[in-house]
Amino acid sequence: MMAALLLRRDKKSTAAHLKSDLNRTDNSSGVRQLQELLDSVLNPEKPPADTEALDWCKCLIAGEEGFEEFCKTVRSYDNATLCGLVWTANFVAYRCRTCGISPCMSLCAECFNNGDHTGHDFNMFRSQAGGACDCGDSNVMRETGFCRRHRLRTGENVPSVPRDLLLMSEMVLPRFIICIIQYLRDGYTEPDTSAERDLQKVLQQLEPQITFLEELTKMGGAMRTVLTKILTNQQTFKDLSMGQEENVFAKKNYENYLSALKNSGLVSVEEKAQTGAAEPTRGSETGALGLLGAAAPSSSESNKEEDQDGQSIGQRKRVKLSSSTKDPSIMDSLKHKCFLEELLFWTIKYEFPQKMVTFLLNMLPDQDYKITFTKTFVQHYAFIMKTLMKSQESDTMSNRIVHISVQLFSNEDLARHVTEECQLLDIMVTVLLYMMESCLIKSELQDEENSRHVVVNCSEALLKNNTYWPLVSDFINILSHQSVAKKFLEDHSLLMLWMSFVSFFQGMNLNKRELSEHVEFESQTYYAAFAAELEACAQPMWGLLTHCKVKETQEYTKTVVRYCLETLQIWFDAIGFVDELAPNQVTFHLPLHRYYAMFLSKAVKCQGLDLESLLPDQEMLMRIMVHPLQIQASLSEIHSNMWVRNGLQIKGQAMTYVQSHFCNSMIDPDIFLLQVCASRLDPDYFISSVFERFKVVDLLTMASVHQNTALDGEQERPMLEGALTFLVILSSLRIHLGMADDEILRAEMVSQLCMNDRTHSSLLDLIPENPNPKSGIVPGSCSFEEMLSAVADFKAPVFELGGSMQQGMYTPKAEVWEKEFDPIMVILRTVYRRDVQSAMDRYSAFLKQSGMHTTGNPWPPYKERTPLHPCYKGLDRLLHCKTLHIVIFTLLYKIWLDHSNMSEHVLCMVLYLIELGLDNQVEEDKGDEEPCIEEHCHDSWFPGTNLLSNLHHVINYVRVRVPETAPEVKREREPPASTSAEASNFGQNVREAQVFSLVAERRRKFQEIINRSSTEASQAVRPKSSSTRWVPPGTPPQLVTEILEIHESMLSLLIKLHQKLSAKQNSLSATWLEDMDANPNRHAHGDGITAIERILTKAATRSHQSKRSIQEICGKVFPPVAPKKNSPTAKKTMDKEERRQRARERQQKLLAEFASRQKSFMETAMDVESPDTEAAMDLGASEVKESEVLYDCVICGQSGPSTEDRPTGLVVLLQASSVLGHRCKSDEAKKLPTTDEERIYPADTCGAAHDVRLALMQSFFKDSSCLQSVSIGWDGGVYVQTCGHTLHIDCHKSYMESLRNDQVMQGFSVDKGEFTCPLCRQFANSVLPCRPGRSTEVVSWHMPSNKKTSVLVKEVEDLQEQLGFFPTESNLSKEMELVIKDIKNTTQRKYMDYGKNPGSPDNDFLFMYSVARTNLELELVHRGGNLCSGGASGAAKRSCLNQLFHVLAMHMRLYSIDSAYNPWTRLTQVAPSRDNCLDDERPEVPMLFRDCPSLLIIFVLTMPQPLRKEHFICLVRMLYNLQYTQALAALSAKFSPEERQAWSTSGTLKKNAFNAEKSYEALLSHVITELSKVKTVYDVNTDEPSMLSSSVWSPQSIEYSLQQFCLPYLRLSCLLQHHLYGDNLSGCPEEEEFSGLAGCLGLLDPAPQPSNPMYSASCLDWTVSAFDLMSQWCSEVTGLADTQAEKSMTLLVQDLQWASPHLLHLPDNYNTIFQYYHKKACTACKKVPKDPALCLVCGTFVCLKGLCCKQHGICECVWHSQHCGAATGIFLLINASVIIIIRGHRFCLWGSVYLDAHGEEDRDLRRGKPLFLCVERYRVLEQQWVSHTFDHINKRWGPHYNGL
């Protein structure tokens, strides 16, 4: 009743009335009234789209003052000290590393700009997932970075909120919120119900309501407090959630909610009570563990006993929950106790609607809310992830989840709080396990049948789509907090759980080598696998490691290592690994190994732990080493093409494994682990394992022939190289063995820079992030920048001639090349093999340049290593073991004998190993090792293990097993005793000679160690498996044992190799060693010879015995070494002399050949009587004939004249251009506006001015006459350019035909006639026919004439009267018309039709002569605006103006000027003015208004061709008279009336003087007098004071002004003469341009006339009385002046000078542009474009690609390019900082003119560093625009389909 009453009243007054009721002490009636009102208003049974309810709420809350006002009032009580602005994806925000405490810190643009970050390390970024502003939050950032607003606002100054202000809100909002919740409940349907599920629709309807909530949060702290109270109040929730008892709707609604809970796998509290489980006291205290309960009843048995079978394994995998203290059964219940909880529940159910997320985040500045919300979030965490896994749009949802969670978990206090109270860590780990358990499969590694190990299946969506990332990212985020990480490390059950999680990734994505056929389908699962290991395993590992850096944390490390080893042990057992790998398998994923390795490394490096205490027994170490070693061998196999059948993806894996983002977490830990194993295991065992794993054991025999069952012949060499390289890396790498962080950074940087010059950003990207990528902090004391400047020089960005733009680059300093270049590090970090070569090439280039090594190719330099950390000293034993020495000896021997499969690289690595051994001596602990060797004296190759003493040990005999066919066999057969008999003389030797079998060696050692370390090990299994696998690969029976006689030591072999390399016997003299010591530096760089010398020197200095031995060997005279013919090394090291000799021979041979070829050519040329060859042969003789130009056809290669029948043409590019039209008066470029106040006005451009002028004329004068008085083509004129190449036009046609058939590759459109010049590949689209015959005009046409001017004038007149001569139809004339058509098609119609009758011949006439004008004007622009620099002949060659003129003239012949209207008559004769007989017709344009250059071109083009030069000069002279008169008229208009009077009077006196007709004073006076006849001409001007009237006109300034006025005409005439007659343009200083040009045109005596500087008048040449003629011209003007005074003055005083065209002036800092334009609205669609772009020619702002501004199917950018630049557009893409060029139907990315501090572009603003204008680049851009060379210089064009 009451409510109905209230409803009818107006809302505002109701609100006021209720409010006063409620403010009474007894407010019960008010409350009741309000409740009733709300009951009827907020009825959830009404459709949500009904906004009446919302209006009511607003009114009720606001009370009488209105909602807007209310908002303002509430806002004034805002006590928030945080900004907290929430943004969504794509928002532009800032991050300052200097100010940030958390690396996730971000600021809104406003806060950033209002804070002081000068000199800070900040960047702008585009938010991916959304975020919130942290300004004011001292937990996240330093206070110094707060903006002014959030720094000052302390909150205390804000008055407290009056009680009644928010009273209504407190009462109304709970009802409003439950109403929303009810809508949400009502709208939700489960995905499995048959009804169409349309969550989006429900959300859309609710949008106004949620938006309202969001608006409320923006009212500031006061309102947020109210909302927090409501959202977290349990009583209100209880009262409202279920609705009133009798309300059926509410009941059903509530049941909906319960079923939604149930369907989510969550049990409601009620049901829970039934099952009798203890109800938790708080929802948030429920653990996550029980979540697994439903699917996996936990087993208390060890996890080895999981039962598994086949496919269903994924679902049935069980995880042991080791801790019984955590009750797993409570997880599945979720009790909502307040609005916030249920609201979040629905937010999740609805998959995080954006609006709701924003609302929830907007509330965060309220601390109470933040805590409650975080708890609620954690409480729902498992549920969130379950929903995510099921979501169809997991990407969007992931982003939204992280958008929230990052805000909550980045705060350490809060994260610790929820870890302690809500078991956040348990929840996260459990949920991670739960997730991964959904996609487990049986591991096929090792024992496919019996494996009990399970791994994640990388082809599952969860992994492929990276669905787990929000969870992992949260986990990494909370682990970055020390307090949280400690909790994790202290909790053993969690660690156990975590290790079992990691083991899910151990061995995933197994590769099996395809042996027979190419794999059918290249699986791309490896992306998922590498990403998963990096993100889910490695990143948390790095996170944990950052907290294990000091002694105090030793215990943590010990625990982790223990569980790691335990889990590894379990893994080995599960996969059934005993001691031998299953063949042809490799997995790159060993996260357990890597956890173990990295914790070991940290323990030794930072925590001072003893390595020994963390290592397992020898047997375990031997197992641990197997898989990482297999990866190294596989890398080599992959590069040796042994895995080709597995497709390209396997190479992808090999590359990813070593790539900069992965190497830290993959190859580096692997190598380190192998180093640890090598330092602890028996070195002989280790070395033989390596060679066996690399499958090159068979190769390591002294025999000349061997069999290899494992490898193809061509794979042996690369695999041997791989094995040796690996050994070198293993024994020399120190990354985890003693290098400091600074040293590592330096080494990484140097190796990357040595491969290639790098940009700053690519270098940053290539340096492995260490240790924790998220921290953004480089370890060590040295910053990246400091290190960079220490090792590299900066090369500023330059623009290369080819047009490609270079960025700022860093290149290694010279001393880095000299001292620090480390080829081993380069090899380790090389992703592409070519990079190693590149580094070596650069290295040798440096050596050549610096003169350190000039002949041949240098070898990789040897580099001394950082000393080993004492813990790893054992690694050196690798270099001092007999097995390695035998290998070295064997290889040296084989190289010396030139065995196949040996290479320079093999030798290089062998020498490297020797040198490493010499430099890293093992301490004299031989004592305990020697006896051991003695015991098992299997091999007596060497007496001990020390390399230094083994070097000089001579091996006399070696027993080898070879096939019967081997050469050794034959040789040895001769003495029959030697094969089988143990002859007494051989006895000693034979016993000494040993079969060397690495396989046997390794097996023996292995057994030995196993027996020693673990006798109790199950021996029953091992022999069985070993016996099946350790059979030496198929020993063929035909092998026989032979004994080779060797008699060499390593030293002697080295010396022999030295001789071999230097190709000199006795290359080392006996005294050589003494000479050596003098200059030790010589050894650092060089080739193999240098390396051997260096090693010998080292051996000699370190051991007397070696020294003696070397001297002895050198002293001997060796028999000459037979030089091997095909030995590459011999060739390289050829003696200098010999090489010079060879060169000389080669040269002589070449000369002889040349001479004979020439002779035979002469002979054939004389034999054959061919006109072609004759013409080509002697050009001199052709002088006799009519000189005809010969053209080479670039297609058929023939050369000949262009004829009527078979015309030749120039390859040309026609393009429409508006460059001329964009010229301005001012030489300064217009400024790009960057504020609302600034604007660009286009009216003062050349194009606009000409349009105005023509329109003005057309309004007074006859249209046809107007169209002959101006030129067009300033906008949209056609520019013709050529590359200078010619071709037969018929050849061109067939060429086009062939292009048409082959349309695949081109970036151009053949259908539009586009092609590239067959010779120079320049872009072109037409062919301009060349006129047949004479090149330049025959001399006679050039002759200076001595005819009188009056005669010439008459002759010209007669010529003009001649009827148009129509050439007979020929191929040539057809082609000429075709090119005319092409020209017309080049530009748009609107640029051709200026006349009043579209399509009339007058229009065509104007357009045609304007084409000539456009090309002449553009050439002037290209010459810098004047002709002072003279005629560069190069420019003329490339010009096609002469041919163009000819074609145009041919076409113009179609038109004739009506003789009655021929301007020539009016130019040269005083005729009674034709009284305008036809009154209805408009008058013709007065001569004084006509454009002289246009007239000149018209005359030239319409007269019979070729035009004699004397006639041309005559034209120029007559027109000069007119031009000069125009100048006088224009000048006189600038005078003040007084001045005009004075000049008029003074001039009158001179009128009768001699030569008055050439006196400017007399003429000026005459013009003034004539024009003054009608008062109004000058009258107009007196009103507006002329600019120059204040200054007094002197004769000098008058002369200057006249010259300036006439100069454009003279320039154009001169240029025309240059092209028509080939006259040279002579350069001159700028101030003498006038006289220079006048002289050139013959207007002025070429001799300078210093006496008379007033030469502008002396150029005049009158054939009739000057005064009469002038009077006539003036009268034409005065005739109309009385009516159109003002207009005629405008037409008279035209300014002809235009400055060079410029692009807009850009601000220095890109941010200025970005801030203004990235959120500016488009003027057309009024929206902020998604991709805003800016025209750099005119400043127009457009919506790139926007459908909003698309018209006629053309997007705005393309449309603008057509109108602004006649299809050429230059646009700056605001959001990318990149410039794109549009040219016709194509576009290309030009690059950026804004570079960062390191001279680099930042496309798409990815890095967000400050960008600055690169003036040079911008100039290049402008120059390309002005010179129309975009098409030629930029290469990557693509069609834009009008879609830009």
Give CA separation, 1386 vs 700, 880, 1097, 1765, 1844, in Å: 73, 79, 77, 13, 21
Instruction: Assess 1562 for contact with Zn ion (CB under 5 A).
Output: no
Instruction: Assess 1327 for contact with Zn ion (CB under 5 A).
Output: no
CA dihedral (1259, 1264, 1270, 1273) positive or negative: positive
Task: Let me know: does 1387 contact 1276? Beta carbons within 8 Å.
Answer: yes
- Given candidates 340, 886, 1212, 1737, which one binds Zn ion under the rule CB under 5 A? 1737
Q: Which helix (H) or strand (E) holds 813?
A: none
Instruction: Assess 1288 for contact with Zn ion (CB under 5 A).
Output: yes
| SS3 category, 2 | helix
Q: Which of residues 52-91 bind Zn ion (CB under 5 A)?
A: 83, 85
Q: How far is the CB of 1733 from Zn ion (least distance, A)?
A: 9
Instruction: Assess 1229 for contact with Zn ion (CB under 5 A).
Output: no
Cβ-based nearer residue to Zn ion, 381 or 1818:
1818
Query: What does the angle CA 99 – CA 100 – CA 105 come to, to the nearest 5 degrees?
Result: 135
Instruction: Assess 109 for contact with Zn ion (CB under 5 A).
Output: no
Instruction: Assess 1338 for contact with Zn ion (CB under 5 A).
Output: no
DSSP per-residue codes, 1671-1708 = HHHHHHHHHHHHHHHHHHHHHHS-----PPP-PPBPPS
964-987 in b/e burial notation, b at 16+ Cβ within 10 A?
eebebbeebeeeeebeeeeeeebe
Q: How far is the CB of 1811 from Zn ion (least distance, A)?
A: 18
- Given candidates 108, 914, 1406, 1421, which one binds Zn ion under the rule CB under 5 A? 108
Q: How far is the CB of 1054 from Zn ion (least distance, A)?
A: 59
Helices 554-575 and 618-639: angle between axes, nearest 10 degrees: 70
- Given candidates 1748, 1816, 1829, 1843, which one binds Zn ion under the rule CB under 5 A? 1748
Instruction: Assess 1725 for contact with Zn ion (CB under 5 A).
Output: yes
Cβ-based nearer residue to Zn ion, 98 or 1019:
98
Instruction: Assess 98 for contact with Zn ion (CB under 5 A).
Output: yes
Q: How far is the CB of 1200 from Zn ion (least distance, A)?
A: 9
Cβ-based nearer residue to Zn ion, 1542 or 1725:
1725
Beta bridge partners of residue 1214, listed in sequence order: 1280
Q: How far is the CB of 477 from Zn ion (least distance, A)?
A: 21
Instruction: Assess 1756 for contact with Zn ion (CB under 5 A).
Output: yes
Q: Pick the piece of the chain touching Zn ion (CB under 5 A) from 120-128, 271-279, 765-773, 982-990.
A: 120-128
Q: How far is the CB of 71 from Zn ion (least distance, A)?
A: 19
Length of the chain: 1844
Instruction: Assess 96 for contact with Zn ion (CB under 5 A).
Output: yes
Query: What does the angle CA 1455 – CA 1461 – CA 1463 come to, to the nearest 5 degrees?
Result: 95
- Given candidates 152, 983, 1181, 1196, which one binds Zn ion under the rule CB under 5 A? 1196
Q: How far is the CB of 1459 from Zn ion (least distance, A)?
A: 44
List Cβ neighbours of 1541 (8 Å cut-off, separation of 6 or more).
none
List Cβ neighbours of 1158 (8 Å cut-off, separation of 6 or more).
none
Q: How many CB atoms neighbour CB 1363 within 10 A?
A: 8
Instruction: Assess 1740 for contact with Zn ion (CB under 5 A).
Output: yes
Q: Which of residues 145-164 bind Zn ion (CB under 5 A)?
A: 145, 147, 150
- Given candidates 406, 1051, 1291, 1774, which one binds Zn ion under the rule CB under 5 A? 1291
Give CA separation, 765 vs 202, 503, 760, 769, in Å: 45, 30, 9, 8
Instruction: Assess 670 for contact with Zn ion (CB under 5 A).
Output: no
Instruction: Assess 1735 for contact with Zn ion (CB under 5 A).
Output: yes
Please report which residue ranges of 1396-1508 form alpha helices under DSSP H. 1401-1422, 1433-1437, 1441-1452, 1463-1468, 1492-1502
Q: How far is the CB of 1300 from Zn ion (least distance, A)?
A: 18
- Given candidates 1319, 1680, 1696, 1789, which one binds Zn ion under the rule CB under 5 A? 1319
Instruction: Assess 1267 for contact with Zn ion (CB under 5 A).
Output: no
Instruction: Assess 1283 for contact with Zn ion (CB under 5 A).
Output: yes
Q: Which of residues 1764-1783 bind Zn ion (CB under 5 A)?
A: 1764
Instruction: Assess 716 for contact with Zn ion (CB under 5 A).
Output: no
Instruction: State how beta strands 1732-1735 and 1768-1773 pair.
Output: antiparallel
Helices 1492-1502 and 1509-1534: angle between axes, nearest 10 degrees: 160
- Given candidates 760, 1058, 1285, 1619, which one binds Zn ion under the rule CB under 5 A? 1285
Q: How far is the CB of 1330 from Zn ion (least distance, A)?
A: 13
Q: Pick the piece of the chain touching Zn ion (CB under 5 A) from 57-65, 130-138, 404-412, 548-556.
A: 130-138
Q: Pick the piece of the chain touching Zn ion (CB under 5 A) from 118-126, 175-183, 213-221, 812-820.
A: 118-126
293-325 in b/e burial notation, b at 16+ Cβ within 10 A?
beebebeeeebeebeeeeeebbeebbbbbbeee
Instruction: Assess 120 for contact with Zn ion (CB under 5 A).
Output: yes
Q: How far is the CB of 79 from Zn ion (least distance, A)?
A: 15
Round to whole Å and give the CA distance between 784 and 742: 9
1270: tokens are 């101006």
1140: tokens are 């010079």
Q: How far is the CB of 94 from Zn ion (least distance, A)?
A: 9
Instruction: Assess 117 for contact with Zn ion (CB under 5 A).
Output: yes
Task: Let me know: does 1814 contact 797? Beta carbons within 8 Å.
Answer: yes
Instruction: Assess 603 for contact with Zn ion (CB under 5 A).
Output: no
List Cβ neighbours of 325 (8 Å cut-off, separation of 6 or more).
none
Cβ-based nearer residue to Zn ion, 534 or 1767:
1767
- Given candidates 53, 71, 93, 111, which one binds Zn ion under the rule CB under 5 A? 111
Task: Let me know: does 809 contact 759? Beta carbons within 8 Å.
Answer: yes
Round to whole Å and give the CA distance between 1057 and 1049: 12
Helices (H) and strands (E) in the chain, counts: 80, 28
Instruction: Assess 1230 for contact with Zn ion (CB under 5 A).
Output: no
User: Does the bond joining 669 to the residue before it have cis omega, within 30 degrees of 0?
Assistant: no
- For the chain, percent helix, then strand, then coil, each to nearest 5? 55, 5, 40
Binding mask 1452-1471 for Zn ion (x = CB under 5 A): --------------------
DSSP per-residue codes, 535-592 = IIIIHHHHHHHTT--SGGGHHHHHHHHHHHHHHHHHHHHHHT-SSSPPTTEE-S--HH
Q: Pick the piece of the chain touching Zn ion (CB under 5 A) from 625-633, 862-870, 1264-1272, 1316-1324.
A: 1316-1324
Instruction: Assess 1743 for contact with Zn ion (CB under 5 A).
Output: yes
Beta bridge partners of residue 456, listed in sequence order: 440
| SS3 category, 379 | helix
Q: Pick the piece of the chain touching Zn ion (CB under 5 A) from 103-111, 527-535, 812-820, 1789-1797.
A: 103-111
Instruction: State how beta strands 131-132 and 1812-1813 pair.
Output: unpaired
Cβ-based nearer residue to Zn ion, 1696 or 1725:
1725
Q: How far is the CB of 130 from Zn ion (least distance, A)?
A: 14
Instruction: Assess 1713 for contact with Zn ion (CB under 5 A).
Output: no
List Cβ neighbours of 975 (8 Å cut-off, separation of 6 or more).
none
Q: How far is the CB of 1729 from Zn ion (least distance, A)?
A: 5
Binding mask 1143-1182 for Zn ion (x = CB under 5 A): ----------------------------------------
Instruction: Assess 1193 for contact with Zn ion (CB under 5 A).
Output: yes
Instruction: Assess 1746 for contact with Zn ion (CB under 5 A).
Output: yes
Cβ-based nearer residue to Zn ion, 156 or 612:
156
Chain contacts with Zn ion (rule: CB under 5 A): 83, 85, 96, 98-99, 108, 111, 117, 120, 133, 135, 145, 147, 150, 1193, 1195-1196, 1283, 1285, 1288, 1291, 1317, 1319-1320, 1322, 1722, 1724-1725, 1735, 1737-1738, 1740, 1743, 1746, 1748-1749, 1756, 1764
